[in-house]
A and B are shown apart, each in its own frame.
Chain A
């Protein structure tokens, strides 16, 4: 356990080097945040008679949280080191180390996400809180939903990383995995509410989305924060989220075992 923890620390320190990239990320995210909000504002203003599926402050909050934690919940961030290792066979070295290969890289991917999100989220959240209405990022609806939000976000990170591990492992089976991973990216982004929040979906797609694990990545945490998902429902969803994490990790472990068994180490 201790070796995993040290490895985690090491990755955090390495990742903190990339501050310039974070700055670029922040400005991009701020820009997109504003533009998204303006589109919704225009829609809400021109349709006064229609009852929207989410109220305006919930949607604005949703959009800011989405931008702030973009790096944490993005479905698939390619880890070149892991992919190279799989392609050039250096994976063999990993097999002789005492740590479990799957968990080692799982931790690495989590650390990458956490640092990227940490550097980007704080300035975006701060700016969001300071903005005037209607662009303002609202405070959480109450302290319980804040707590559920924090746990849900942590679970979201665990879940999305486990999913992304599976995508990395699948490259062992496909010669060119770009198509697979970008198709996954789109599907996950769609069903987690990354493109349009799930309440805006047509009914049948919404039903599908509610049955898939992806909604726990961003739909659930961001909506529970604003109170759009109630605390009672939120508590139950935390359990659902946890179950999905276990399922996805187990699938990942099985794939990694199977893939490594199949691997033939060439001499030289």
Chain B
């Protein structure tokens, strides 16, 4: 199955770098876009020196983990992001007659390779902030960091699946979903602890952004000794259950758009 996925990714990439000039131009603009995200934080911290006790590199670490997960999801799981298109143009009906899972086929259907530029940049920001933070490395910290990065991918994957299961009923994408994906991504760039209690509650227990970068980073940055915080990224797996489940329910109730 993994082989098949890689195969289809390869095909998509090939078709996208066919137009080299436009690929490079788009890539440059991706660099620009990502730069502005980064610039926002750096500009604010040129005037202020901390945000609720977090320094600029600590915030950038938070930022890079979120951006990494989001851009990986955007790059390799684009099919699920654009799920409404599959329903509207009837491609989903074709998927139904094939001997593979629907979700799997959706993932294989499209890759937005240009967004790889954002992945690279988020890794660069991650490395920059790690170099500038005085971190006493040990095996636990390596594990935390890896868990953070993986769970960051998983949470966005889960969110995309959740929002796409809406499409089975509405037959179109809901713009409101951007609040949870784009809005959540923006929010979680900063340590969630800087926000007011209500927001912290929502983004801890309803959409668990706080578990992927805030709580584990508290441990990572020695702001707490509680080893439980180390494994908080694993809670994202629980979040995935209702996401996948709602997709399944949606699929059961799917009526073709008839095109």
Tell me the A residues contacting B by CB distance below 8 Å: 21, 24-25, 27-28, 31-32, 35, 38-39, 42-43, 45-47, 50, 52-53, 175-176, 178-180, 182-183, 186-187, 189-190, 195-196, 200-202
What chain B residues lie within 8 Å of A178 (beta carbons)? 22, 26, 29
Cβ-defined contact, A186 with B174, below 8 A: no
Does A47 contact B50, Cβ atoms closer than 8 Å? yes
Residues of B within 8 A of A190 (CB): 36, 39
Interface code B40-66, partner A: CB below 8 Å = 1, 0 otherwise?
A: 100110111111110000000000000
Complex Cα–Cα for A196 and B43 (A): 8
Min CB distance B206 to A, Å, is 14
**What is the total of A-B residue contacts with beta carbons within 8 Å?**
99
Chain A residues with CB below 8 A from B253, complex form: none
Please classify how large the interface on chain B is, using the bins under 10, 10 to 19, 20 to 34, 35 or more.
35 or more
Q: How far is the CA of A31 from the CA of B199 in the complex (A)?
A: 11
Stretch at the interface among B99-107, B188-196, B230-238: B188-196
Residues of B within 8 A of A (CB): 19, 22, 25-26, 28-29, 32-33, 35-36, 39-40, 43-44, 46-53, 174-176, 178-179, 183, 186-187, 190, 194-196, 199
Asked whether A31 and B44 contact (CB < 8 A) given A47-B50, A178-B22, the answer is: no
Residue contact B178 to A176, C-beta cutoff 8 Å: no
The answer to whether B32 and A46 have CB atoms under 8 Å apart is no
- SS class, residues of chain A in contact with chain B: helix
Chain B contact residues: helix, strand, loop or mixed: helix
> How far, in whole Å, are A83 and B132 apart by their CA atoms in the complex?
46
Q: Residues of A contacting B19 with CB < 8 Å? A: 176
The listed residue (B25, B44, B190) touching A200 by CB distance below 8 A is B44
Given contacts A24-B176, A200-B46, 19 further A-B contacts (CB under 8 A): A24-B174, A24-B175, A28-B179, A31-B183, A38-B196, A39-B194, A42-B194, A46-B53, A52-B48, A176-B25, A179-B22, A182-B33, A183-B25, A183-B28, A183-B29, A195-B36, A200-B43, A200-B44, A202-B46
